[in-house]
Chains A and B, each alone.
Chain A
Amino acid sequence: MAKYASRLNRLFWVLAVVAFVVGLYGLYSRIAFGHTRANYGSYVPWGLWVAAYIYMIGLSAGAFLFSTLVYVFNIRRVSAEGTVAAPAVGIADGAAFERERLEQVGKLALFTALVTLLGALICIWLDLGHPERAWKLALQTSFRSVMGWMIWLYAAYFVLLLVELWLALRADLVARSDRSALARFLTFGRRDVSPAALAADRRVLRILGSFGVALAIAFHGSVGAIFGVVAARPYWNSALTPIMFLAGALLSGGALLTFITAIWGPEPGSELHRNLMRFLGQIVLGLLALDVLLEWAEFSIGLWNGTPTESASLLLVLFGPYWWGFWIVHVGLGVIVPAILLIFLRRKVWAVATAGALIAVTFLVVRLNIVIPGLAIPELPGLEEAFHGPGLTTHYVASLSEWLLFVWAIGLAALLFLIGRRVLPIVHSER
């Protein structure tokens, strides 16, 4: 596995650079032509970029919540059965060593949360009609709008992520200070690595992490609530919407972290790594089951109530022109195949990693299937025929420019991750 991990690492460098470079055209197109090259319009006002935003922000919230397993819930050991041991057990030297390795997954999770958050913010920032006015969101906020709350919640989340990451990395930054100027700078002068200082760090991390659990739930819940409160769109207008956003965030973020741990986690190929992968795989399987349950609730209630307002959007998801997105990409590759891998091949690291990658990647379709079908039902019959012009249609397919900008944002997030992993002591074998 170790050999594959380094090969895959190289492959991902290539992919990230290619995505970044190819996607630059999307960025150019957005800057040079504004929104005229995008296919969203006035009847489907939100398109791929909004879906990409909630997708990546979900990955971020999910990865962050996984980090709290280490920092808040204090999981220190994973047994060969993929179960966890209570903190009280781990006093022996072996346990302390293992805890060290688990903390690396915590750092990996925090760093993943940070880069996906940046990718998400870039997508939604460029989606604005006036990106230069984004500051108004923070300084002239209307708290009657869920979106106003969301801005403040994710500003707080962003700061919390940075502080947590810094605290988690501080000891390693100090250790690397004599070799790396960057590490020395990033310690910001706090070089104390005495057991007392580290214990203090850990205590603050635990407090911040506990606060972060609430913040991540509030923050991603508010992203869901943005959709949930819109009474004009029956498909979105449900108390289940924010809950589904959270479950989806946990699932997709956890799946991504599982895949990332497989390649960039501590000591690929070791016993610990295998146990860790199995542990993560089992959590992801549980979250997958939860997500399927919620999805079933949404579809069954929406279709059985028989009123066309909500079922119209659901039928569009199930049997509309992009039925294959739901059935093949989401149900097939995002649920059934990963479930088979996680149930029958749970001891195989490659299988768990593949399942994680499949869930994380195909989740974009779930996000698209939230945003677009809610909008693609005309609010008044005959609206589309009444007046013609760009964007006055409920049929939406993302344009090439939109896809490329999304690819660029993904490439940017991936590059930030790969560079960060290289220059920051996120996962390492020293000490």
Chain B
Amino acid sequence: MAESEKVPTTRRGVLRGLAGTLGAALALTAAGKQPAAAETAAAPQAQPPAATAAAPLPSDPLAPEDVLVRMERELRRALAKPREQRRWVMVIDLRRCVGCSACTIACVAENKLPPGVVYRPVLEEEIGTYPNVTRRFIPRPCMQCDNPPCTPVCPVHATWKNEDGVVVVNYDQCIGCRYCLTACPYAARTSDFGHFYTADTPPATPFLLGQETADDYERAANFEYGKAWDRADGGSPIGNARKCHFCLHRIAEGMLPACVTTCIGRATLFGDANDPDSLVAEMIAKPNVMRLKEEMGTEPRVYYLL
């Protein structure tokens, strides 16, 4: 209360003098410029290069094109190609990630993940000691390795790299031995042990809607791999290994993966690396690109920009 009274007083004081007004105007200009400048320096990919620049949004001809718009356009281009000619990759710009975990939650919502199943957690790391301290956030989807250690260990041919190069699981074939979980060096596979968020909530009473209504969401099917998987009946994917699949079911419809669409900092990029004009092809050719546990020779398709 005291502060809110003070602020207008101060502002009025500043505005009173001509010099003060000028000073404020200068400060505002500087403040307005600064983030834009920082953005350009830190993340050049925000501005599409002239060669590939597309028509700007009709509503605002001066605004730079949102990378999502560009990636969606590139996605449509890639979908027109034969499957085996596409090379889906994901690029995660760690400088733009603020650790909001919106991607994690978007993924949970998109794939209706139950408790204990997560496809894309965001690892947090604190670097340095005060006062030189910073935090780093590392979203960790499935790496969709070109040399995946998780697929050959499956004893029943339930997981493989599909024609698009995405490591997929056949829920109807998986026996739930969890060998692939142990074999993944990135812990990118989790097992669906049959937990429900509403498991121990009370049933309906006169004043409460109760579990029967609250679990509507959990009874709805997800659409992984383009098929309706209904967990409510207790069958697969319960008892199966589950993992990130780059939202293949969304890609098939021309939509970007849920984590890409939802990223508030546009830190997660997705596309076909075989298309030389694509955003991701540009990004993975930068010198500041790296992949996790490169020394294991798994050849991940998820790249990080440092």
Contact = CB atoms under 8 A, between A and B. Distances in A.
A243 B76 CA distance: 54
Interface string A377-388: 011111101110
Contact of B124 (A148, A230, A386, A391): A386
Contacts of B140: 380, 383, 386
Interface in A218-234: 226, 229-233
Closest CB pairs A-B (n = 3): A129-B176, A129-B239, A386-B121
A134 B194 CA distance: 19
Interface string B9-25: 00000000000000000
A147 B155 contact: yes
Contact of A145 (B116, B123, B152, B178): B152
A378 B153 contact: no
Interface string B136-168: 001010000000010011111100000000000
B239 A35 contact: yes
A46 interface: yes
A42 B179 contact: no
A45 to B, nearest CB: 4
Contacts of B183: 230-232
A13 interface: no
Contacts of A134: 175
B211 interface: no
Nearest to A149: B155
Given A140-B157, A145-B154, A232-B183, A391 B178 contact: no
Interface in B114-134: 115-118, 121-125
A134 B175 CA distance: 7
Given A41-B191, A137-B155, A389-B117, A130 B179 contact: no
Contact of A129 (B117, B185, B240): B240
B153 A387 contact: no
A129 B174 contact: yes
Contacts, number: 157
Contacts of B234: 34
> Is chain A's binding surface mostly helix, strand, loop or mixed?
loop
A226 B177 CA distance: 12
Interface in A16-67: 34-36, 38, 41-43, 45-46
> Is chain B's binding surface mostly helix, strand, loop or mixed?
loop
B181 A42 contact: yes
A146 interface: yes
Give the most central of A42, A229, A378: most B CB within 10 Å: A42
Interface in A140-156: 140-142, 144-148, 151
Contacts of B179: 145, 147, 226
B168 to A, nearest CB: 15
B112 to A, nearest CB: 14
**Interface residue range, chain B:** 35 or more
A226 B180 CA distance: 11
B46 to A, nearest CB: 27
A208 B27 CA distance: 91
Nearest to B181: A45
A44 to B, nearest CB: 9
Given A232-B182, A389-B117, A151 B296 contact: no
Contacts of B185: 231-232, 379
A89 B197 CA distance: 73
Nearest to A150: B155
B211 to A, nearest CB: 16
Nearest to B242: A42
Given A45-B191, A129-B192, A392-B116, 4 more contacts: A42-B187, A140-B157, A379-B187, A386-B121
Contact of A387 (B121, B182, B195): B121
Nearest to B236: A130
B268 interface: no
Contacts of A379: 184-187
A431 interface: no
A145 B159 CA distance: 12
B247 to A, nearest CB: 18
Given A34-B239, A42-B181, A383 B155 contact: no
Contact of B193 (A36, A148, A226): A36
Nearest to B194: A34
Contacts of B240: 129-130
Nearest to B156: A136
A232 B156 contact: no
B201 interface: no
B238 interface: yes
Contacts of B154: 142, 145
Interface in A374-419: 374-375, 378-383, 385-387, 389-392
Given A140-B156, A142-B155, A382 B125 contact: yes
A128 interface: yes
